Chain A
């Protein structure tokens, strides 16, 4: 088996299995810790609060714009760009079809390139902020930088593989995807799942008090 076959085959299966198992372990581990039921008489619904809390924090408040605008622009550019790249890139759709047998309409090539550029710009802005902003500099650690760099390399090698001129470029991309998948559940990248719990707990607490901050 060649390099490409290995990173797309056995290594990918192992990486995907580690990703799924460790991420599930971590999320269920969090839920399993349990929470004492709140028995104070509620003024509103905790369930509605859970949902509202999750939605509310997608929209940052304008009053915090002085500090947040860079994060908002960078954060949304990166996350939306990545989402589009991942789910609407023609090669990704082919890849998903190969494993799951389902497919949908991909983005045209120019759309893919535009989404990548937006995602790259967003990621770079967020990373530069890690050392240019005094608060972020103080609180960032190795994990934050590794997570950013791995994501960057996955995206960069993905763009290099776009031409499909050399199989080995696709192999390098897949190698970084595999490493990224293995790293993900052990890092802060897990916020992609845990944000639901975190926002939800706050939303539920406030929901019982009849508000949705």
Chain B
């Protein structure tokens, strides 16, 4: 491994924003209490500030405005070593979901999640990405999906869903106004959610379709740190939408998939996109507001889990709440909630990393406690990755709270 490649990447990706963060950190450690992995273990090594130390070292050695002076007087920080980088792998992947909560506690307002992303970019240059994430990211690049949902397989899945759930699954419909995306998790594991989206759109009279050119919303390149893969994934969707002439691209219940096409895609591709991007819940809330989507509330007490990539990293808070208030008679807010909500501990790819399993489960106890304290009978979410984390963790802890997808609830309760 040539560690220099990682260092070069750190330096290349350090612009004014990253440099300001690295420069401003006063090592106060206040970020520690905001991080579920630190709180779950009490291990100071899991404090968010620890996660960007190699990046800061590389910055001070060669990009800091004062680095020429440090070098001249022989006081430049020592070069990051291969061993140090290897030691950091678990901090960068296993114990950071890039949830952004630590920023709320940092007096300098440092966006540590974005520093972890730069760290991941460097780590991926030298093959220090956990094998599970590499495998899935490369499969997505090579086959279109992290778990092998090729275009051919997609057709079969959609045919099966059509039959099983009695719904029309439009694929490659020319000139559809809305391009619908979904993640492989839904295509394979959460098909009722997939079917529910299709049913809702049809009942609302939306002209929509999937595209075999770009159907995968998840973007594992954004987990592994491989920007080229992240770009390829959004390029496929963009081209599919442009070919179709779609005015809107609907991201499914996938938090990072939404961020990928909504916030990252134009920057990754270096151009503005000729369509609007909405998360499915944003879209439903819009329909609801316009009076086109009416709901019959169920008499239940439920709470809502804000997926970090949709909420804190994506800016979508009010829309799911608007839906929740009309979906149930007793909506209960988690404390802390909204922008300060605790991560489920599985984001950023953590849930698929085998070596992170124990830590992820420990951190999930915070989430369980939060849900329990609401007294609600279940928890609703709008992200397949969160759902998978909740499912796996609930099974482990034999936790009996109901876990619901918002889209499925909407489909069940909408009034024609």
A43 at the B interface (CB under 8 A): yes
Chain B residues whose C-beta falls within 8 Å of the C-beta of A39 in the assembled complex? 266-267, 270-272
Are A203 and B109 within 8 A (Cβ)?
Answer: yes
B375 at the A interface (CB under 8 A): no
Chain A residues whose C-beta falls within 8 Å of the C-beta of B21 in the assembled complex? 198, 201
In the complex, A68→B30 CA distance in Å? Answer: 6
Chain A residues whose C-beta falls within 8 Å of the C-beta of B64 in the assembled complex? 29
A186 at the B interface (CB under 8 A): yes
Are B19 and A138 within 8 A (Cβ)?
Answer: no
B336 at the A interface (CB under 8 A): yes
Bitwise interface map of A from 20 to 31 toward B, beta carbon under 8 Å scored 1, else 0: 001001101111
In the complex, A133→B106 CA distance in Å? Answer: 17
In the complex, A22→B65 CA distance in Å? Answer: 10
Kindly count the residue-residue contacts between A and B in the assembled complex, taking CB atoms under 8 Å apart: 165
Q: Contacts A36-B267, A135-B44 given; indicate if A213 touches B272 (C-beta within 8 A).
A: no
Bitwise interface map of B from 1 to 19 toward A, beta carbon under 8 Å scored 1, else 0: 0000000000000111101
A190 to chain B, nearest CB (A): 7
B89 at the A interface (CB under 8 A): no
Are B339 and A40 within 8 A (Cβ)?
Answer: no
In the complex, A19→B276 CA distance in Å? Answer: 49
Q: Contacts A40-B264, A66-B33, A191-B24 given; indicate if A33 touches B15 (C-beta within 8 A).
A: yes
Give the contact stretch, choosing among A7-15, A57-65, A112-120, A166-174: A57-65
A198 to chain B, nearest CB (A): 4
Chain B residues whose C-beta falls within 8 Å of the C-beta of A31 in the assembled complex? 16
Give the contact stretch, choosing among B177-185, B312-320, B359-367: B312-320
Are B263 and A209 within 8 A (Cβ)?
Answer: yes
Our pick among B49, B108, B262 for the contact of A40 (Cβ within 8 Å) is B262
Are A35 and B33 within 8 A (Cβ)?
Answer: no
B238 to chain A, nearest CB (A): 13
Q: Contacts A30-B65, A197-B24 given; indicate if A202 touches B33 (C-beta within 8 A).
A: no
Are B105 and A53 within 8 A (Cβ)?
Answer: no
In the complex, A31→B65 CA distance in Å? Answer: 10
Q: Contacts A64-B34, A140-B27 given; indicate if A57 touches B106 (C-beta within 8 A).
A: yes
A77 to chain B, nearest CB (A): 15
Are B44 and A198 within 8 A (Cβ)?
Answer: no
A152 to chain B, nearest CB (A): 16
